[in-house]
Amino acid sequence: MSSLAGYAAGLAVLALAAALARKRGALDAGGVAAALAIGLVLLAASWVALALMIAFFASSTALTFYRYREKERVGAAEKKGGRSAAQVLCSGGVPAAVAAASLLAPEQGARLLFAAASAIAYANADTWAAELGSLSGTQPRLIVKPRVRVPPGVSGGVTPLGEVGAASGSALIALAYYAMTGGNALAVFLLGWAGEVVDAALGALFQVKYVCPKCGVLWDHPVHVCGSETAYLRGFKWMKNEVVNLVTELAVVSAALLTSLHP
């Protein structure tokens, strides 16, 4: 297949994926635009990174809709209408930028792809942890204070099922990376899974937290699932889940670039 034909095929795949995501309610209009922008960058920079991003998006979207009504009932479901541009950019913008850097420094291509794969592994681990953990029969506990129980969906809360989900999500991307490049899958897996742990810790320590006066539980939003307005308790009001995702991705990429492990 010629280069031109390959790009045409890639564009067709991106357009189809965007249309399906919008139709199924996985992304809102802004989310579709952001996803297309990320896809186009990856199409120009790295087919491998693009394939890994598609694997992340497809698998995470499937889990988002899995037993959706149960998650909605406890307030842990993704909002109807789909993920926003901010959510998409904070999950995919960093690995896309890292992969694109190989266009300027082709001699660093393998190292940059390793870093991008690690960031995507973290994004998948984080989403799988949230989507499966919210279905756990065990009430989540704050990762920094295990004696404190929190409702499903509260950032920083972890469950055994959620951690199995995180490991599985990271492993999926690591194995796909190995299949396409023969690179260090173990390092990608460990960086992705460690990123999810860091994400949970940041969410517990610094992300804004409210308390529902009616139910007496911690919550991440100004309105609780019961409909009551919550009261601010602690954390930075500007540090929402998207910001935690972005900070963690930057940390994972930095660790991947600085580590002595090589793809």
> Distance between CA 179 and CA 55 in Å, rounded?
13
Give the mean pLDDT of 28-45: 87
Looking at residue 77, its pLDDT comes to: 67
Q: What is the mean pLDDT of the chain?
A: 87
Q: Taking 70 as the threshold, does the pLDDT of residue 133 lie above it?
A: yes
Residue 143 CA to chain centroid, in angstroms? 18
Binned at pLDDT 50, 70 and 90, residue 188 comes out as very high
CA dist 241 → 3, 57, 141, 214 (Å)? 39, 18, 18, 24
Give the mean pLDDT of 34-60: 89
> Distance between CA 257 and CA 83 in Å, rounded?
29
Radius of gyration of the chain (CA): 18
205-252 per-position pLDDT tens digit: 999 999 988 888 888 888 888 888 898 988 888 888 889 999 999 999
> Distance between CA 63 and CA 129 in Å, rounded?
10
> Distance between CA 123 and CA 5 in Å, rounded?
30
> Distance between CA 196 and CA 190 in Å, rounded?
10
Provide CB contacts within 8 A for 200, sequence distance 6+.
Answer: 129, 143, 155, 156, 157, 158
